[in-house]
């Protein structure tokens, strides 16, 4: 029987085996190299779909409240790129509620957020020329 022959003639397909072995080795190596990535991901406490944080905004009272109220739905850049009067910010909040389903922000919360927006995102002196850094 050919299989028991100590020096068998190589079957025609035999030359492919080393290639397959290399392929398997590469796949195993790739899989192993992913393990640290998964382990690392599991160690992170939570996933946040944005890399923005309140620290990116100008310091001031109301910063956290404003950041979290507005980034529930969109990035803060969309807010920071605006420069509005208090009345216009007030309108924006209404618009978020009526058009975009934001929970109405009332009372002290609204005052805190409007104070912050008014102080840090007022109308710009040069209309139409945005700050190169939207957080400043
Ligand atoms: C419930 C979801 C939601 C919340 C919360 C929310 N927004 Fe929005 N906002 C939207 C949507 C949706 C848009 C439209 C996005 C677009 O046009 O791509 C938008 C757009 C905007 C825009 C852009 C308007 C323009 O002319 O381009 C501004 C400014 C804005 N929001 C301000 C705010 C502020 C300030 C807050 C926090 C007080 C806030 N939003 C919170 C949903 C929300």
Indicate if ligand 1 lies below 6 Å from the C-beta of 102.
yes
Closest Cα to atom 23, ligand 1: which residue? 78
Question: pLDDT by residue (tens digit) across 67-92?
Answer: 999 999 999 999 999 999 999 999 99
Per-residue model confidence as pLDDT tens digits over 47-73? 555 689 999 999 999 999 999 999 999
Nearest CA-CA partner of 111 in 90, 133, 81: 90
- The dihedral region occupied by 63, where left means phi > 0, alpha psi between -120 and 50, and beta the remainder, is alpha
Looking at the chain, the whole-number percentage of residues with pLDDT higher than 70 is 61
pTM here?
Answer: 0.67
pLDDT tens digits for 125-136? 765 555 666 666
- Please give the Cα distance from 12 to 123 (Å, whole number): 79
Q: What is the dihedral of CA 122, 89, 111, 102, to 10 degrees?
A: -140
Question: How high does pLDDT run on average in the chain?
Answer: 81
């Amino acid at each position: 029987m050919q299989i028991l022959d100590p020096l068998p003639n190589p079957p025609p397909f035999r030359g492919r085996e080393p290639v397959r072995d290399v392929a398997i080795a590469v796949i195993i190596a790739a899989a192993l190299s992913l393990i640290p990535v998964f382990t690392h991901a599991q160690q992170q406490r939570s996933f946040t779909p944005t890399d923005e944080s309140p620290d990116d905004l100008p310091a001031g009272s109301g910063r956290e409240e404003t950041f979290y109220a507005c980034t529930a739905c969109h990035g803060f850049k969309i807010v920071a790129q605006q420069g509005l009067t208090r009345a216009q910010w007030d309108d924006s909040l209404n618009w978020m509620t009526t058009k975009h389903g934001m929970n109405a922000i009332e009372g002290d919360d609204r005052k805190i957020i409007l104070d912050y927006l008014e102080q840090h995102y007022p109308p710009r002196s040069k209309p139409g020329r945005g700050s190169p850094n939207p957080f400043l």
